Structure 1
Amino acid sequence: MTRDSSSRVLALWCPDWPAIAAAVATDVSPVAAVAVTLANRVVACTATARAEGVTRGLRRREAQGRCPELHVVGADPDRDARLFEPVAAAVAAVAPGVEVLRPGLLVLSARGVARYFGSEQAAAERLVDEVSAVGVESQIGVADELSTAVIAARRAALVPRGGGASFLAPLAVKELAAEPSLAAAERSELVDLLHRLGLRTIGDFAALSTVDVASRFGTDAVLAHRSARGEPERPPSARVLPPDLDVEQQCDPPIDRVDAAAFAGRSLAEQLHVKLAAAAVACTRLLVQASTGNGEHLSRTWRCAEPLTPEGTADRVRWQLDGWLTGRSEAKPTAGITILRLEPVEVVAAGALQLGLWGGVGEDDERARRALVRVQGLLGGEAVQIGVLSGGRGPSERITMVPLGDELVPEADPNAPWPGRLPQPAPAAVLGSRPEVALEDSSGASVYVTERGVFSSVPYRLRWGTRTWQLQGWAGPWSVDERWWDRATGHDAARAQVLLGGGSAEQKALLLVCHDRSWSVEGVYE
């Protein structure tokens, strides 16, 4: 079916954006070999790195083995969003209606820019030039449907009207899951299943009947099938946007710091989702607006494949405010933000969200989160913290405490090799106070760990306060000698596990740590 130009979508894609943003943030040339890692695996890399054999999914050490000059940077969504704001602002300056799908990818209606610049080809060239002026390379794709336009942008293609299905047909079926901002989390599993069924191209999948797809697969497969056939991905809806869903906050004093803006954004996101839940709807397109003390008005629309959760809303508000306040675009405000406003532009029925057992969208979790946010409002952002698995050798070192609402980034990579790390199982309780104990041999002499990393004598009993236990067993010691070259930050210690005697009710296992020939309890096993 031939579509009118008013429904055409233009997508602008910045290749390898996480790697490009990481290069800019670390003052490395974007043409250098750069890789972004998450959980010790490569999630994005530059073209130069790919030329050396680095690909997504490689372990960090293997990637460095293939490319010794590789610059490795950790994943940071805040950084990606902050540095993408100048790109979005450059496009918005000449083309209204910009919607950000994710940092590195935005879309807008092709109708206005095609009429203004004379044709879709001329509009694409102009937008590429505008983004190039910011110092970023980009590609444009235009098609009848959003997902087709995004796939076309990866090939810098302008798909003729009504030619979406023909354009997609020869492409590999994995292209349907190539863009996570347009697909549900289970899309990769669907693509893997289709490949195992022998459906290797998008055309093969599109050839299936709609009835067969709907009866065999889930809802996301039906959406993917519509996309593969070049059909409208969101069927027309007569749903009217419920009134009074907007939320607004007066900021007094004006906000000029990212941490304060992020805290205000979290609070506003909670208020928005309370209203959305009351109206039985969920938001799929969110407009973030801000006004400054100098009368400046900033706005940006974020579009999502799936309905936004409170956490997703708070993330996008934080990213956008971070981009405005610390970005390098000409739209950077000259005064603090005095009004912050969130407006749902497009909503769907709340049934599109995963409901909790007692109704609502994770109602119990949301109630707890709102309570914790109120605690933060009373005591400060650092008052409520979440533990994140981190890298380290001892149990206390393997926990990074992060304020609620901040990105859950550990201080050290938990998947990196940690020679001398405490073996499993981990203690059930880690004692922050580390009470001192005495470890003795059968003659009553103190037992310590020698420079060779062994016990000075065989452990026999343990004294803790006024109590004495005979040991039923022990394991270790495991020596730790960290940063031995730096006296100020170095750490020399040893750990051991001991099983205390007594009745079954009194038996317990402890994790001990020895430093300067003195023992203390670091953890208790259950």
Structure 2
Amino acid sequence: MLVVWCPDWPVTAVGIEAGVAGAVLARRGASERVAACTAAARAAGVRRGQRRRDAQRLCPDLVVVERDLDAEGRAFEAVAAAVAELTPRVEVVRPGVCAIPARGAARFHGGEEALRITVQDAVVEAGHDCGVGIADGMFTAELAARNGGGGLIVPEEGAAEFLAPFPLGVLAGAVPDWDSLADLLVRLGVRSLGEFAALPVDDVAGRFGAAGALAHRLARGREPRDVAPRAGLPDLTAVRTFDPPAARSDEVVFAAKALADGLHAGLAAEGLTCVRLGVEVEFADGGVSERLWRHDGLLSSPAVAERVRWQLSGWRLPAAGRGAAGEIAGGETAGEDAVWGGVSALLLVPDQVVPDTGTQRALWGRDGDGARGELPERVARAADRVQAMLGHGSLTRPHLTGGRGPGERVLRVPLGDMPLETRPEGPWPGALPAPAPSVVPPEARPVTVRAADGSPVTVSARCVPSAAPALVVLPDGTSHRVLSWTGPWPAHERWWDPDTSRRLARFQILTPRGAHLLTLQNSSWTLEASYE
């Protein structure tokens, strides 16, 4: 495979110049983090994944722009078109990265090195810097494009040797749930792809599961899946014709989503999923736009529609082609999304299908992401109906945040909203140790704690209990012996604000009826939570 990699593409797409210290931010959960940055920003210490305030602390003059995925897709069409002039089979992996099969193209252009230079020159002439790598497989070829000062060629059967020195971090994005797996491998002493590849295949699969097996294949220079041809597969191409031709791209994009729904239904009936989708757009004037879009896993219907929109953006009618009244030949008004000559047909072709192993999704979407778009469709519709009948705040979801007490660590956020208040994860001196209690009442309820001689238990300014707790009277009025106890965990919160400042101490006690978390504040005991 030959892979073309355009560095810092999210930055290029939003128009930040290379010599400027700039960064593109993407929202991740409740915070904004750096998705990409320029070389000048990296020289100042800015890195991907940093929080916005950390990046601006390192580089006070940092120019920050919100990420624009549509702009990335539209701008990359120029790169894909430049590569398509040399070979017709161009796969767009994602905006910023595309690939072509190298063997046939190398024979035509006089060898792999000649092909690599030719492709690189074509992209540079289109106005974009790039690296071009050639190797046995997409993952290895992309790493080759990112290294060697403009890319390099990995010899045939030399992928494992080339990959061996790379750190495990290069697998991020290629393997699901990689962060937790990488942390475990580092704690086991595995720090490079070569060390990971040296582990026995069966042991890796048995210990780390499907994600570990996939990472192991990539570390050994193998493709994620073996070729598994399927005989007798019916033609699953989805076709939509437009009569009269669609003059606006939004008509085509809307049809693409419906076509993708039908395509997915047909693939599911065969137990398959498409990892490489061909999109063909035929125009009324005889033009044809063809692109291959690669995706590891199911390319959802909205994602297919988004890629059709990116592809059509290269055929948008330029302002110079409009008349004084903004009309196209034929008399129809052209908007910003008009396309040359109108679209006569749209085809979605499953170019590469693999057995569908299925996915497990959480009921409420990904952790930490409150976007409504992450909800399953039926759940989202039901939630909308409940909120319409009972009010926007009637349906909430818990959002974990920082804090000391169990009740402080959970914020109730209306479904579809992001939390307005977030507290850092820590460290929180005086925080309750794990495990967290399972029952937290809406409000703390008063209790009585006494020593063996019947005197009330207090805590001194030095956090020393006046006596060991021996008896507790719970909110229901029942008295119970204290079998065991631990504490106190003192906390002095908001000491800088006399109006909201408070001092308290927490105890854990065990009674014949169960374990409880008690809080002493202003000489008053309350039941904060219980362990069940």
**Alignment-derived partner of residue 513 in structure 1:** none
**Aligned-pair distance for 1:323?**
4.6
Q: Does 1:109 align with 2:101?
A: yes
Distance in 2 (alpha carbons) for counterparts of 1:191 and 1:197: 10
With over 3 angstroms needed to count, the CA separation of the structure-2 counterparts of 1:198 and 1:241, relative to structure 1, is farther
- CA offsets, 1:300-334, max 9 Å, x none? 00111223333433333333334543799xxx963
The secondary structure found in structure 1 opposite 2:316 is: helix
Of all paired residues, the percent bearing the same amino acid is 44
Distance in 2 (alpha carbons) for counterparts of 1:15 and 1:414: 35
Q: Is the 8 A contact 2:33 2:50 kept in 1?
A: yes
Distance in 1 (alpha carbons) for counterparts of 2:231 and 2:22: 47
**Aligned-pair distance for 1:200?**
0.5
Q: Does 1:159 align with 2:147?
A: no
Distance in 2 (alpha carbons) for counterparts of 1:242 and 1:140: 35
**Alignment-derived partner of residue 292 in structure 1:** 283
- CA offsets, 1:344-379, max 9 Å, x none? 11112233444899xxxxxx95678999xxxxxxxx
- CA offsets, 1:65-97, max 9 Å, x none? 332332211112111111100100100111221
The secondary structure found in structure 2 opposite 1:217 is: helix
Distance in 1 (alpha carbons) for counterparts of 2:252 and 2:358: 30
Q: Does 1:343 align with 2:346?
A: no
Name the aligned partner's letter for residue 271 of structure 2: A
**Alignment-derived partner of residue 56 in structure 2:** 64
With over 3 angstroms needed to count, the CA separation of the structure-2 counterparts of 1:220 and 1:317, relative to structure 1, is farther
Distance in 1 (alpha carbons) for counterparts of 2:214 and 2:187: 20
Distance in 1 (alpha carbons) for counterparts of 2:352 and 2:105: 23
Q: How does 1:162-181 map to 2 (within 5 A)?
A: 162-177=157-172, 180=173
Distance in 1 (alpha carbons) for counterparts of 2:378 and 2:236: 20
Q: How does 1:490-501 map to 2 (within 5 A)?
A: none
**Alignment-derived partner of residue 226 in structure 2:** 235
**Aligned-pair distance for 1:218?**
1.5
Q: Equivalent of 1:89, from 81, 85, 92?
A: 81
Q: Does 1:185 align with 2:180?
A: no
Q: Does 1:17 align with 2:5?
A: no
Q: Equivalent of 1:125, from 97, 106, 117?
A: 117
Q: Equivalent of 1:38, from 26, 44, 63?
A: 26
Name the aligned partner's letter for residue 289 of structure 1: E
**Alignment-derived partner of residue 309 in structure 2:** 318
**Aligned-pair distance for 1:174?**
1.1
The secondary structure found in structure 2 opposite 1:336 is: strand
Q: How does 1:295-444 map to 2 (within 5 A)?
A: 295-325=286-316, 334-354=340-360, 365=376
**Aligned-pair distance for 1:123?**
0.9
Q: How does 1:445-524 map to 2 (within 5 A)?
A: none
Q: Is the 8 A contact 2:258 2:301 kept in 1?
A: no
Distance in 2 (alpha carbons) for counterparts of 1:42 and 1:259: 31
**Alignment-derived partner of residue 211 in structure 1:** 202
Distance in 1 (alpha carbons) for counterparts of 2:36 and 2:2: 24
Name the aligned partner's letter for residue 227 of structure 1: L
The secondary structure found in structure 2 opposite 1:216 is: helix
With over 3 angstroms needed to count, the CA separation of the structure-2 counterparts of 1:368 and 1:193, relative to structure 1, is closer
Aligned length: 360
Q: Is the 8 A contact 1:145 1:233 kept in 2?
A: no
Name the aligned partner's letter for residue 29 of structure 1: E
**Alignment-derived partner of residue 466 in structure 1:** none
Name the aligned partner's letter for residue 18 of structure 2: P
Distance in 2 (alpha carbons) for counterparts of 1:22 and 1:124: 27
Distance in 2 (alpha carbons) for counterparts of 1:120 and 1:224: 28
With over 3 angstroms needed to count, the CA separation of the structure-2 counterparts of 1:258 and 1:45, relative to structure 1, is farther
Q: Is the 8 A contact 2:252 2:346 kept in 1?
A: no
**Aligned-pair distance for 1:165?**
0.7
The secondary structure found in structure 2 opposite 1:130 is: helix
- CA offsets, 1:376-406, max 9 Å, x none? xxxxxxxxxxx9xxxxxxxxxx9999xxxxx
Q: Is the 8 A contact 1:256 1:336 kept in 2?
A: yes
Name the aligned partner's letter for residue 341 of structure 1: L
Q: Is the 8 A contact 1:14 1:139 kept in 2?
A: yes
Distance in 1 (alpha carbons) for counterparts of 2:155 and 2:207: 32
Name the aligned partner's letter for residue 357 of structure 2: G
> Structure 1 stretch 93-102 or stretch 317-326: which is displaced more?
317-326
With over 3 angstroms needed to count, the CA separation of the structure-2 counterparts of 1:281 and 1:250, relative to structure 1, is same
- CA offsets, 1:157-176, max 9 Å, x none? 21111111111111111112
Name the aligned partner's letter for residue 165 of structure 2: P
**Alignment-derived partner of residue 251 in structure 1:** 242
**Alignment-derived partner of residue 79 in structure 1:** 71
Q: Is the 8 A contact 1:54 1:66 kept in 2?
A: yes
Distance in 1 (alpha carbons) for counterparts of 2:232 and 2:25: 40
**Aligned-pair distance for 1:189?**
2.5
**Alignment-derived partner of residue 222 in structure 1:** 213
Distance in 1 (alpha carbons) for counterparts of 2:139 and 2:318: 29
Name the aligned partner's letter for residue 189 of structure 1: S
**Aligned-pair distance for 1:129?**
0.7
**Alignment-derived partner of residue 484 in structure 2:** none
With over 3 angstroms needed to count, the CA separation of the structure-2 counterparts of 1:327 and 1:97, relative to structure 1, is farther
Distance in 2 (alpha carbons) for counterparts of 1:232 and 1:259: 37
Distance in 2 (alpha carbons) for counterparts of 1:100 and 1:215: 34
Distance in 1 (alpha carbons) for counterparts of 2:275 and 2:102: 21
With over 3 angstroms needed to count, the CA separation of the structure-2 counterparts of 1:197 and 1:287, relative to structure 1, is same
Distance in 1 (alpha carbons) for counterparts of 2:212 and 2:414: 39
Q: Does 1:275 align with 2:266?
A: yes
Q: TM-score, normalised by structure 1?
A: 0.62
Name the aligned partner's letter for residue 325 of structure 1: R
Name the aligned partner's letter for residue 79 of structure 1: A
**Alignment-derived partner of residue 197 in structure 1:** 188
Distance in 2 (alpha carbons) for counterparts of 1:399 and 1:126: 55
**Alignment-derived partner of residue 99 in structure 1:** 91
Q: Is the 8 A contact 2:18 2:39 kept in 1?
A: no
**Alignment-derived partner of residue 426 in structure 1:** none
With over 3 angstroms needed to count, the CA separation of the structure-2 counterparts of 1:367 and 1:248, relative to structure 1, is farther
